[in-house]
Structures are given as structure tokens and as C-alpha cells.
């Protein structure tokens, strides 16, 4: 494992003194996200929530303007830009790395111009995505021209259809192979490995069994890729299926899943409940 994770203007130690699990806080400026759709849709509400996350100890703020819940349709570029750009400009000097959660090359480019530190792409920076036209800007060229961190996520199919019939012969092997392929292609365009982290994509084209298998094998995935692993488990349907709880009642299950992920080698948790996650990790670190 390398020593540092370079995240735009920021650098996080991965080993030795100062190294600890990182908390990425979710800031959805959407009316329809599965967990908090509409809560932070206005600029004022979004900034207030970001300020609270900072006070609660967040390490990275992940801003998203398009829902990726199962069944979600792609959002027009202009609408996504309208939602996220005011938030990105308002937060760029907040003292924390700002991530943009987007699949669109055009949004990535505008976000980089606004000074974001990280790009989180559920499509894994692929050029062959069916939801983009052939004349779309080349995503690899765009990200290669920046110093942003890149989160490469695995997803089978797309948000509209991903949960209809997810199938794998060996989910761990197939996720690892996909991530290896994406890392290699990014390397070909000059993206340094120190800028990369990986995400197995819990809930994105996976059944409960697939998700649990991936969770058990986080250590293998992280070791084979030799990159920091981000786990996004917060409030997801797998937590609801296991606990029988609605989205708003999945805090305890989400904390448990996050600690399991960290214990197996994850280094970043993407969460909705920052304060509670930070406290849980402090206890975990004190014992470990």
C-alpha cells in the first residue's frame, strides 16, 4: 500500500503517523435521492448541512446532483450543472476536500474549473457508457488534465436497470478484474496511482448475497489493487433487508456495516451520518 492518497489540494496519509479511516459525507442536492432526496435541495440548506458535517469531523464532502438510486433515469446536463455548481463554488474554500459525484464528462470539467478535489464516477470513467452520446467529451482526457483524486466504482449495467437481474459467476473476481482494467486505462492517459481509490459498488447491480460476499472480501480487493478502498454502505437496501428497517431507521445497521468494512481493510467510508460515524471510528481506533 502506498503512503499517501493525493486528493486535489489535500494529501491523506495511508500508513504510519496520522493514518486513519476517512469519512466522506454525502451532500445530495437532489429532489429524489433514495435516502435524503429534497432535504438539501436549496443552496442555503445544502451549505448549512455542509457546515454541520465539517463541525462533525468530516474528511471529504461528496456533492451530487443526480440520483443514482435503482430505477433512476439520467438527468439533463444543464439541470445537473444548475444544481451542483453554486454549491461547489460556495464550498471550495471551506477547508475540506470537495468531491463531485457525477457520471457526465461535461459536469466533471466544470467542477474541475470550480476547484473540486475529487471526482466520484459510478461508471468508473468508462468511455463506452450507453447513457452518453458519441460526441460527449472524452472522460479520460478530461480527468487526465487535472490533479483531482478519482474514485473508480464498479457497477453492473446502469441505475435504471442494475437491480433487475444482477448475475455473476464470481462477483469478487469480476469486480477485481473490472477495477484492474479501469486503473490500467487511466494509467495509459497519465493518471498517477496516488490519485486513485476504488469502490466495489455495494448495491449497484448486486444482490444481498453479492454485497455480503464483497464485504467479506474487501481485504482481498484492496490488496490485489493496492489502492485505498472506499465503501459506500450507508442506509442502503442491503441494510434494510438484513434489519427490516426503513431508510430513516438504518443508522445502527449502517454503522455496523461501516465498521465491518474498516476492519476488513476499507480506508474511506461514504456516509450520510457523519457525526455518528466519526464517533464509532474513534472508539474502533482506540481499541485497535
pLDDT at 272: 96
CA separation for the pair 285, 288 (Å, rounded): 5
Which grid cell sits at 209? 448475497
Domains (range + CATH), the chain: 4-68+75-287 (3.20.20.20)
The pLDDT assigned to 39 comes to 55
Q: Are 271 and 234 in contact (CB under 8 A)?
A: yes
- Stretches where the chain sits below pLDDT 70 are 1, 32-41, 70-72, 127-137, 157, 159, 161-162
Q: Of the residues 83, 126, 235, 270, which is catalytic?
A: 270
pTM above threshold 0.95: no
What would the grid cell of residue 174 be? Answer: 469480476
Q: Is 54 exposed, middle or buried (0-12, 13-18, 19+ CB in 10 A)?
A: middle
The C-alpha atoms of residue 207 and residue 168 are separated, in whole angstroms, by 10
Residue matched to cell numbers 476517512: 22
Give the full edge-to-edge strand order of the sheet including 149-153. Answer: 196-199, 149-153, 118-121, 98-101, 60-64, 22-28, 268-271, 230-231
Alpha-helical (H) ranges within the chain are: 43-56, 77-91, 105-113, 139-144, 171-188, 208-216, 218-225, 237-243, 251-263, 274-287
Q: What would the pLDDT profile of 167-215 be if each residue is shown by its tens digit?
A: 899 999 999 999 999 999 999 999 999 999 999 999 999 999 999 999 9
In 3D, which of 141, 221, 129, 219 has the Cα closest to residue 175?
A: 221
Active site residue 129: no
**Which has the closest alpha carbon to 230: 276, 197, 274?**
197
pLDDT digits (tens, 9 = 90+) for 133-179: 443 458 999 999 899 999 999 998 676 766 778 889 999 999 999 99
Whether 96 is a known active-site residue: answer no
Q: For residue 275, what pLDDT is reported?
A: 98
> Which among 117, 185, 130 is positioned nearest to 156, based on CA atoms?
130
The packing angle between helices 218-225 and 208-216, to 10°, is: 60
What was the pLDDT predicted at 129?
53
Alpha-carbon distance 147 to 247, whole Å?
36
CA-to-CA separations, 85 to 123, 142, 259, in angstroms, rounded: 21, 18, 33
Find the catalytic residue in 236, 245, 250, 282.
236
In sequence order, the β-bridge partners of residue 101 are: 64, 120
C-alpha span between 59 and 168 (Å, rounded): 34
What pLDDT shows up at residue 36?
47
Q: Give the closest residue to 260 by CA, choosing from 219, 228, 199.
A: 219
Amino acid at each position: 500500500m502506498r503512503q499517501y492518497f493525493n486528493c486535489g489540494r489535500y494529501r491523506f496519509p495511508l500508513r504510519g503517523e496520522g493514518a486513519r479511516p476517512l469519512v466522506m459525507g454525502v451532500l445530495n442536492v437532489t429532489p429524489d435521492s433514495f435516502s435524503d432526496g429534497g432535504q438539501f435541495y436549496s443552496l442555503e440548506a445544502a451549505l448549512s448541512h455542509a457546515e454541520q458535517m465539517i463541525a462533525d469531523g468530516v474528511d471529504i464532502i461528496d456533492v451530487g446532483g443526480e440520483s443514482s438510486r435503482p430505477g433512476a433515469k439520467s438527468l439533463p446536463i444543464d439541470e445537473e450543472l444548475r444544481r451542483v455548481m453554486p454549491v461547489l463554488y460556495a464550498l471550495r474554500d471551506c477547508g475540506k476536500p470537495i468531491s463531485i459525484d457525477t457520471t457526465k464528462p461535461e459536469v466533471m470539467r466544470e467542477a474541475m474549473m470550480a476547484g473540486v478535489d475529487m471526482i466520484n464516477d459510478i461508471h468508473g470513467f468508462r468511455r463506452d457508457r450507453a447513457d452518453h452520446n458519441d460526441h460527449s467529451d472524452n472522460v479520460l482526457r478530461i480527468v487526465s488534465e487535472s490533479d483531482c483524486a478519482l474514485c473508480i466504482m464498479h457497477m453492473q449495467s446502469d441505475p435504471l436497470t442494475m437491480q433487475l437481474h444482477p448475475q455473476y459467476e464470481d462477483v469478487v473476481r469480476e469486480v477485481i478484474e473490472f477495477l484492474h482494467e479501469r486503473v490500467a486505462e487511466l494509467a495509459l492517459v497519465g493518471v498517477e496511482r496516488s490519485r486513485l481509490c476504488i469502490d466495489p459498488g455495494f448495491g449497484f447491480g448486486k444482490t444481498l448475497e453479492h454485497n455480503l460476499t464483497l464485504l467479506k472480501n474487501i481485504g482481498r480487493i484492496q490488496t490485489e489493487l493496492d489502492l485505498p478502498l472506499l465503501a459506500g454502505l450507508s442506509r442502503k437496501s442491503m441494510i434494510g433487508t438484513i434489519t427490516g428497517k426503513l431508510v430513516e431507521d438504518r443508522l445502527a445497521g449502517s454503522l455496523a456495516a461501516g465498521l465491518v468494512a474498516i476492519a476488513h481493510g476499507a480506508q474511506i467510508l461514504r456516509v450520510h451520518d457523519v457525526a455518528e460515524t466519526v464517533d464509532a471510528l474513534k472508539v474502533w481506533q482506540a481499541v485497535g
